Amino acid sequence: MRNAVRGALVAPCSLTGRDPPPTEPARHSCHRRRSNALRISTDFMTMLPPKPSRRGSALRGSLVRLIASSVTLAVPAAAMVALTATPAIAATRSGIVAIAERELADGQRNVERPAGSNCNYYTGVFRTWKESSGCGSGDGVQFRNSDWCADFSKYVWRAAGVTYADIPETSDGVLTGWASSFKDYGTTYGTWHTRAASGYTPLPGDAVVFDWDQSGDIDHVGIVTSANSSTITTIEGNSGNETRAKSYSRGDVDIVGYSAPVGITPEVPAEPEDATGEAVDFDGDGRPDLVGTLADGTLRAYLGTGSPGVPGVAGRGVDIGSGWTGITRISVADVDNDGRSDLVGRRSDGELYAFLNASSVGAVNVNNRVLIGTGWNVISRVNIADIDNDGKVDVIGRHNDGTLYTYLNKGVAGAPNIATKVTIGTGWNAITHVNIADLDNDGKVDVIGRHSDGTLYAYLNKGVAGAPNIATKVTIGTGWDRMSLISVADLDNDGKTDVTARASDGTLYAYLNKGTAGAPNIATKVLIGTGWNAINRFTVADLDNDGKTDVIGRHTDGSLYAYLNKGTPGAPNIATKVTIGTGWNAITRLAVAN
């Protein structure tokens, strides 16, 4: 039997939400096995096909309004407000996932009542004309009888503020109780991607639609929560009587494609401050070392052991301190101007300390702690750079109110001093990421700042001794709001510091430095790697002591890799990967210079 209105056999959602269901027609593309009896009255609305585009919506809308007119008076006013109010929040992909996860965990909503009845919360929210006899209730909503994968997905999108998800189907909204309406949404608004679409990686917050028997009809829909090169994970309603988290191969033939939500506010991927930076030599043997903290507060040093072509750090490391759980931020800088890199750490109470480097070859020692500031709990970002060009590295701190300060380095050996504070900018709370590099190749390090709108700026260093100045701002890129692991290093070995960044699909790029004095230029983009979405720390250092800066990447499985720099001018190359450690997911923070 074919649905008289839809004109095609509709395969309903299965009890498992995964296996092809019995070939019995249903009134809803997400439905499980139901009676074939066609109903009249308001239930006829579920027989209407999802409109493939805005064309034809007037006819469907007229039918819906004609049928619905007899029942709208029965809908509580509060419910009508809830169904028609435009979300005031800005939709983000992380917000969509957070709401899906919230619903997954909500015991009042995540199951049918009674089990196996199709009576569910989400249909009760959207389609109050559906049958409720024998259904339970929860969170103040009368559950109603219908298959509900589309209602769940629509609820998540609407609650997250996705554009057009708040338009009721009775008011010509594209999203309806049909799973296929999510494909219609994508084709209508230009966000549809087939599974085999070249170059598209599904993103968290996308809707994924399924055809269990490859019949050409959409059977099911869920919300993507994560994706990598091989797998997607989802949260789905109407999956075996409940809401479930699931996973699929990216190549699964049951996946038809993905619709991306409209109106998404770009997000900057959240990263710890030590996600990027440069490893330095602590023990004075000329080889860069790695120093980090463990979850229990232990400070551990891994001494560099590399030689040309053979990168390495000492296997187990050496514990050099304890009690570092109270230190909320760690930076590296020579704050007492003795030629050795010290640690700078901020405690949770706002006190700032210098841990002076008294190391000798093979023995890292940073036990000499000196208080160098108070009230630093209002400083939300710390960077290190010689910003007044006196040959001493200063501390740059961004206040919570957006003011940017330089704390000038007046220290002498054994006596660090950064008490002199100079305002060098305002409005920096809109800057979401900061790096330090000489981008115009005038011999002075500049400040690189990424704005929340994705614009990348170079703030050129015009400072003189005692008078830091980065007021000259130059736009050097756009669209950087989807880039992460932004770092700086000379990867093509031409003597100029380049910028590296990872795109959301895991692709790694080098932006080559072609700047001249007063005119920074990183427009030349070169692909240098793929699959980098599994790397969560990106540190640079000459780890094999051949005079070229290598990349150190920590994989999510705890493996530590060195990507050896084989670049030549204009042609960066870090393809040679060497494993230099395992178990590095036990390191919670790295002490790196940035």
Q: What is the CATH number of the domain that holds 344?
A: 2.120.10.30
CA 53 to chain centre: 32
Distance CA 169, CA 47 (A): 13
Residue 5, pLDDT score: 29
Asked, for residue 29, whether it belongs to a domain, the answer is no
Nearest to 424 by CA among 479, 472, 391: 472
Asked, for residue 182, whether it belongs to a domain, the answer is yes
Indicate if the alpha-carbon torsion angle 163, 166, 167, 169 is positive or negative: positive
Distance CA 6, CA 397 (A): 62
Nearest to 311 by CA among 41, 540, 19, 527: 540
Token couple for 406: 């330089």
Whether 346 and 412 map to the same domain: the answer is yes
Whether 316 and 220 map to the same domain: the answer is no
Whether 105 and 161 map to the same domain: the answer is yes
- Looking only at the bridges linking them, the beta strands covering 299-302 and 318-321 are antiparallel
* 116 in Cβ contact with 136 (< 8 Å): no
* 575 in Cβ contact with 556 (< 8 Å): no
Count structural domains, the chain.
Answer: 2
Token couple for 15: 């009890």
Asked, for residue 232, whether it belongs to a domain, the answer is yes
3-state secondary structure string across 388-448:
CCCCCCEEEEEECCCCEEEEECCCECCECCCCEEEEEECCHHHEEEEEEECCCCCCCCEEE
Whether 320 and 378 map to the same domain: the answer is yes
Distance CA 228, CA 226 (A): 7
Distance CA 14, CA 254 (A): 13
Sort 363 into a burial class: Cβ within 10 Å, 0-12 / 13-18 / 19+.
middle
Whether 245 and 362 map to the same domain: the answer is no
Helix axes 181-189, 149-160, angle to 10 degrees: 40
Nearest to 322 by CA among 369, 358, 281: 369
* Reduced DSSP (H G I as helix, E B as strand, rest coil) percent helix, strand, coil of the chain, to 5: 15, 35, 50
Asked, for residue 536, whether it belongs to a domain, the answer is yes
Task: Give SS3 for 192.
Answer: strand
Residue 380, pLDDT score: 81
Residue 327, pLDDT score: 87
Nearest to 499 by CA among 581, 434, 423: 434
Asked, for residue 12, whether it belongs to a domain, the answer is no
Among candidate residues 259, 282, 299, the one where a domain is terminated: 259
Q: What is this structure's pTM?
A: 0.60
* 180 in Cβ contact with 218 (< 8 Å): yes
Task: Specify the DSSP element, H or E, that contains 159.
Answer: helix 149-160
Whether 252 and 299 map to the same domain: the answer is no
Quickly list DSSP for 94-132. HHHHHHHHHHHH-TTTSB-SSTTS-EEHHHHHH-TTS--
Whether 404 and 484 map to the same domain: the answer is yes
Residues 467-513 have pLDDT tens digits of 999 999 999 999 898 899 999 999 999 999 999 999 988 999 999 99
Token couple for 557: 């499985």
Q: What is the CATH number of the domain that holds 153?
A: 3.90.1720
Distance CA 29, CA 307 (A): 63
Distance CA 537, CA 549 (A): 16
Q: What is the pLDDT along the chain (594 residues), one digit of tens a residue?
A: 223 222 333 334 533 333 333 333 333 446 433 322 222 233 333 333 333 333 333 333 333 333 333 333 333 333 333 333 333 467 888 889 989 999 998 999 999 999 999 999 999 999 999 999 999 999 999 999 999 999 999 999 999 999 999 999 889 899 999 999 999 999 999 999 998 775 678 889 999 999 999 999 999 999 999 887 788 999 999 998 899 999 999 999 999 999 999 988 765 555 667 778 889 999 999 999 999 999 899 999 999 999 999 998 987 899 999 999 888 888 999 999 999 999 999 988 889 999 999 999 999 999 999 999 999 988 888 899 999 999 999 999 998 888 999 999 999 999 999 999 999 999 888 888 899 999 999 999 999 999 888 899 999 999 999 999 999 999 999 989 889 999 999 999 999 999 999 998 899 999 999 999 999 999 999 999 999 989 989 999 999 999 999 999 999 899 999 999 999 999 999 999 999 999 998 888 888 887
Task: Give SS3 for 458.
Answer: strand
Distance CA 345, CA 331 (A): 6
Enumerate the β-bridge partners of residue 484: 502
Residue 274, pLDDT score: 72
Residues 359-369 have pLDDT tens digits of 999 999 999 99
Among candidate residues 259, 275, 303, the one where a domain is terminated: 259
Whether 297 and 254 map to the same domain: the answer is no
Quickly list DSSP for 213-235. T-SSS--EEEEEEEE-SSEEEEE
Q: Which long-range contacts (CB under 8 A, 24 or more apart) does 27-30 make?
A: 27/3, 28/146, 28/147, 28/150, 28/177, 28/178, 29/150, 29/178, 29/179, 29/180, 29/217, 29/218, 29/219, 30/147, 30/148, 30/149, 30/150, 30/177, 30/178, 30/179, 30/219, 30/220, 30/221, 30/238
Domain that holds residue 197: 93-259
Residue 452, pLDDT score: 81
Asked, for residue 278, whether it belongs to a domain, the answer is no
Whether 178 and 294 map to the same domain: the answer is no
Asked, for residue 563, whether it belongs to a domain, the answer is yes
Whether 301 and 245 map to the same domain: the answer is no
CA 60 to chain centre: 39
Whether 249 and 338 map to the same domain: the answer is no
Q: Please give the single-letter amino acid code of residue 251.
A: G
Whether 307 and 364 map to the same domain: the answer is yes
Residue 470, pLDDT score: 97
Asked, for residue 74, whether it belongs to a domain, the answer is no
